[in-house]
Structure 1
Amino acid sequence: MTELDAAAPNNPLYLLRNYSNGFANTAAFDALDIDNGASAVLSGRDGLAPFTDAVTWRNKTSSPEAILNYMSVLNGMGLTMVYDVGRPSEGNLDPLEDLAAKRDLPLRVFHTLRYSASDEASTNDALELINGGAKPFSNDPQFGLLGLGEHIYAPMLDNANWTKEWEEGTWGPFSEISFAAARNGWTVHEHVMSQATAVQYLNLIEDIAKEIPEVSELRWTFAHVNGIQDEDIARAAELGVAFGVHSQARMSVRAMDAPRIGSLSRSGALWGLGSDAGIVAPANPFWTLEWAISGTNVAGRSGWSEDQRVSREQALRAHTTYNAKLLFVEDDLGTLEVGKLADLVVLDQDYMTIEATEISSIKPVLTMTGGEVVYQSAD
């Protein structure tokens, strides 16, 4: 508390550490009339709720000014494009759609279909949408709907410790949605942390491919893949499955949470780097790049062996060129070429020569989206 009060003696300050832990200063507790004694620590979802409600928006709709302000922060980190794989409970997309219609977005935003399937009735509603109520790739290079995810059936939610095969009561609706997605040409970006889920899902995709071979062209993506093993990666590559690796794994000090990105890179499978921001890990791409290259976790210790780290060039391609392919925008974005949209960033240090453990200190001095300057440092 002393450190937070010294940093912000007059302004309420709230810092989220992860889903269920955070910190606040005295002014923040006073603003919400909460007595937390001398402790700055917040624990549990209920403990965080007053703060998350206060700093986001109670009706889950934000003002255009707040959206643009947050986008400017991301532009300042060098980001020009994001993929929002959220659920209806995480916010209303109407304000974003309005801004995109006016061509006012400094950040390209693609999103998944907003629905919540958790029981028979809601699954039927979701299937109605997937089967024709909505269309995949309803986007332009600026904004719009791409695919399904990150939880296409909400009860199918694994973690890195998950070791069991999913029972039919959960796997049945998940399979039904997966088949519907393939039949209707949807790309899927699904939360797959454990090896057990990865194996069961690969078995399902093999079954889907027998009926719908085109599924191999849809770039279905396994997100996180903390527990996936080399034999699973090889199977996935053969099936056309891609991988989205997120630096949320850097927030853990457990070796089991470190995905095998070296194996991913060597497999020939399509894979991309991201963060899982903003409530799980920092959005800063240079923090992610440093992690992928140096292998150090949040405690500064090595998270995995050297053969599971990647080179600077591999990491950079995964965060740019390969991500553009994951989002089906490689014809317009992902590389600097004549005829493509001019998204680029100018850095204050040389990414290729700086010490690997100092890559996170790199800062953009200028960011452009579509040839327009969206961020420029004060210097």
Structure 2
Amino acid sequence: MVCIAGAALLLYNARINGRPGAPATEAILIEHGTIAAIGGNAELYERANGAAPRVDVAGRRIVPGLIDGHAHVLRAELTWGREVRWDDAASLTEALELVRRRAADAPPGAWAHVIGGWHPARFREARLPSLEELDQVAPDNPCYVQFLYETAVLNSAGMAACGFSGAVGDPPDGELERDQHGELTGVVRGLGAFQHCLAKIRQQTFPEQVDSIRTLSRDLAKYGLTGAVDTGGIGIGPGVYEPLYEVWRQGNLSTRIRLYLGAGSRGDEREQLKDWMKYLPRGFGDDYLRITGLGEIVQLACWDAEGLEPLEVDADSIHEFTEISRSAVAGGWQMHVHAVTDEAIGMVLDAWETAAQGQSLKASRFMIAHADGASSQNLVRAKALGVGFALQDRLVLRSAATAEKWGKAAAAGAPPLRDMVELGLPLSGGTDATVVSSINPWRSLWWFTTGQNLDGGPRREEAHRLSRAHALDLYTRGSAWSTFDEHRQGQLASGFAADLAVLSDDYYAVPDDEIPDIRSELTLLGGEVVSAAEPFEGLEDDS
């Protein structure tokens, strides 16, 4: 991280609480990493008394540092430093050029890979790349392009690196597509196939993994993200955390990370969770990196994936999920659990009601993630139990597929934001990045406020759209509340950590379609500069 010389800083000529178009006469005084005061320019000039360096933000909007309330930061960190991102590509031609550049800069044999955050519906060509096209732009490098959790495409070198040939069968829980002549096309499907390919891509040295984490943390700060809730996931076992802890020990995290510990593989989930709870103290860490609870997957048979297929769970798995929940309640561990469909939400609530034994879980901050298909009945149950919801813009790239399975009316009402708000349910905002969505929080805020999507599916009903202020509140105070950080993070107020973003454009004034293009020109984490664009580069002080 980059420190500003001295222990104090005054940002002035800002818009903080002021309306768009009003004179930008507000200021923030920061002392020792904490917001000391917010007020008018003249008032805080006098209070600072010349002791604090003054930074003119020239009328820019300042907002609390954003906190992604549900993301897969750790999983992305395994490959981020070498990934090609197609999040903003407008055509397949443009996207393939990005792959070509990556391959040209990489040594022969190094992977050129794209892992999520994009949709072919955004391309003028409206399609996936082919093996042949990937061969043309990366002839000497294995290439892998994953589209959500639906399909991935490899080039010839990628197929060879993964050991896929005409003689091999399909991997477990995966499929290798073949043409009418039985020849492999380069297209693979299924979680087993994706995991097989990703295991090859993720073969990095420890220093490379550490550097990848630093890069991702800095990239998050460029969006004004000062916090992220990492919810684990399939394949995330104990060894995966070591590079992250190394960056933390070095003091090089540019984002506050909250970790949920889950089951990384199928078969012995309860034992995995028992080991986590036995060997790692609840709350281990500090303000920059801390273990928060269990999730998002604690029993894989109870996981409803994308919510597009019927959920079939055996009684033994439901019993195991319930017993894990009992252990969490008894041990004071928070839970944050994946459930897309109303059926899955009902199953989770059944288990938590049993585990709670008539007590409220609100003080424990139990959260259900996604909840796109939540019914009014289950929302009322959640309210009575004290359960909150972690919401993301996952449908920004999944609206059309959801409408195909659920029907247009159901997709247009997902998630039922108005019902959640009217019940006063605790809500956090996030992305579910990086495979399902982009890391860009401003795209997520655009989705929350406009109900629009990028895949041609039905727009969310107006009743289930949030105001810009309410959406930002989910991304700040809501996410901070979900991890017990609401008394130090998520607000611009005296006594709170100086986590803030000075925006490139006024979030409250720009047209709807420009919200996703907002960036942070100056991001502070605990009063330290973790990202500075050209207008503020002079603040950086490597000492």
| Percent identity of equivalent pairs | 24
C-alpha distance in 2 between matches for 1:146 and 1:185 = 11
Q: What's the secondary structure of 1:243's corresponding residue? A: strand
Contact in 1 for aligned 2:337/2:367 (Cα 8 Å): yes
Kindly provide the amino acid, as one letter, of the partner of residue 170 in structure 1. S
Other-structure match for 2:503? 347
Other-structure match for 1:123? 270
C-alpha distance in 2 between matches for 1:50 and 1:127 = 27
Q: CA deviation at 1:210?
A: 1.8
Quick one: which of 259, 269, 273 aligns to 2:415?
A: 259
1:98 corresponds to 2:197: no
Q: 1:167 to 1:52 in 2, by over 3 A?
A: closer
Quick one: which of 192, 196, 199 aligns to 2:339?
A: 192
Deviations 1:197-252 (A, max 9, x none): 112222222222226x2533211110010110122112211211000011112111
Deviations 1:129-180 (A, max 9, x none): 43x4333222321102110001011221114245557331210111110111
Contact in 2 for aligned 1:226/1:260 (Cα 8 Å): yes
Other-structure match for 1:143? 289
Quick one: which of 467, 492, 504 aligns to 1:336?
A: 492
Unaligned runs of 5+ in 2: 1-91, 104-111, 121-127, 144-154, 160-184, 536-543
Quick one: which of 113, 118, 125 aligns to 1:14?
A: 113
Q: 1:201 to 1:60 in 2, by over 3 A?
A: farther
Q: What's the secondary structure of 2:506's corresponding residue? A: coil
What does 1:160-199 correspond to in 2, within 5 Å?
A: 160-161=307-308, 163=310, 166-199=313-346
Quick one: which of 226, 230, 237 aligns to 1:84?
A: 230
Larger radius of gyration: 2
Q: What's the secondary structure of 2:303's corresponding residue? A: coil
Q: 1:327 to 1:57 in 2, by over 3 A?
A: farther
Q: CA deviation at 1:346?
A: 0.9
C-alpha distance in 2 between matches for 1:90 and 1:60 = 16
C-alpha distance in 2 between matches for 1:302 and 1:358 = 20
Q: 1:358 to 1:299 in 2, by over 3 A?
A: farther
- Alpha carbon RMSD of aligned pairs, Å? 3.1
Q: 1:112 to 1:359 in 2, by over 3 A?
A: same
Deviations 1:279-306 (A, max 9, x none): 1110110000000000011136543211
Q: 1:342 to 1:7 in 2, by over 3 A?
A: same
Q: 1:262 to 1:57 in 2, by over 3 A?
A: farther
Q: What's the secondary structure of 1:136's corresponding residue? A: coil
C-alpha distance in 2 between matches for 1:4 and 1:129 = 41
Q: CA deviation at 1:111?
A: 0.8
Kindly provide the amino acid, as one letter, of the partner of residue 108 in structure 1. R
Quick one: which of 31, 41, 55 aligns to 2:141?
A: 31
Q: What's the secondary structure of 1:268's corresponding residue? A: coil
C-alpha distance in 2 between matches for 1:102 and 1:71 = 14
Other-structure match for 1:206? 353
Other-structure match for 2:6? none
What does 1:213-228 correspond to in 2, within 5 Å?
A: 213=359, 215-228=361-374
Contact in 2 for aligned 1:68/1:105 (Cα 8 Å): yes
Q: TM-score, normalised by structure 1?
A: 0.88
Other-structure match for 1:270? 426
1:69 corresponds to 2:190: no
Q: CA deviation at 1:189?
A: 0.5
Quick one: which of 361, 364, 379 aligns to 1:233?
A: 379
Q: 1:82 to 1:234 in 2, by over 3 A?
A: same
1:44 corresponds to 2:189: yes
Greater Cα offset, 163-172 or 363-372: 163-172
Q: 1:51 to 1:135 in 2, by over 3 A?
A: same
Contact in 2 for aligned 1:272/1:323 (Cα 8 Å): yes
Q: CA deviation at 1:128?
A: 4.6
Quick one: which of 133, 138, 141 aligns to 2:279?
A: 133
C-alpha distance in 2 between matches for 1:318 and 1:231 = 23
Corresponding residue pairs, total: 375
C-alpha distance in 1 between matches for 2:345 and 2:223 = 32
Q: TM-score, normalised by structure 2?
A: 0.63
C-alpha distance in 1 between matches for 2:263 and 2:457 = 39
Q: 1:11 to 1:87 in 2, by over 3 A?
A: closer
Q: What's the secondary structure of 2:140's corresponding residue? A: helix
Deviations 1:14-35 (A, max 9, x none): 3334799975743435312843
Deviations 1:42-81 (A, max 9, x none): 5425775686456544578853222111111111111111
C-alpha distance in 1 between matches for 2:298 and 2:207 = 23
Contact in 1 for aligned 2:235/2:265 (Cα 8 Å): no
C-alpha distance in 1 between matches for 2:207 and 2:293 = 22
C-alpha distance in 2 between matches for 1:88 and 1:251 = 21
Other-structure match for 2:442? 286
Q: CA deviation at 1:366?
A: 1.1
Q: What's the secondary structure of 2:220's corresponding residue? A: helix
C-alpha distance in 2 between matches for 1:53 and 1:141 = 32
Kindly provide the amino acid, as one letter, of the partner of residue 341 in structure 1. A
C-alpha distance in 2 between matches for 1:123 and 1:191 = 17
Contact in 2 for aligned 1:190/1:223 (Cα 8 Å): yes
Q: What's the secondary structure of 1:105's corresponding residue? A: coil
The higher-RCO structure (CA 8 Å, 6+ apart) is 2
Q: CA deviation at 1:273?
A: 0.9
Q: 1:188 to 1:296 in 2, by over 3 A?
A: same
Q: 1:325 to 1:97 in 2, by over 3 A?
A: same
Kindly provide the amino acid, as one letter, of the partner of residue 14 in structure 1. H
Contact in 1 for aligned 2:116/2:434 (Cα 8 Å): no
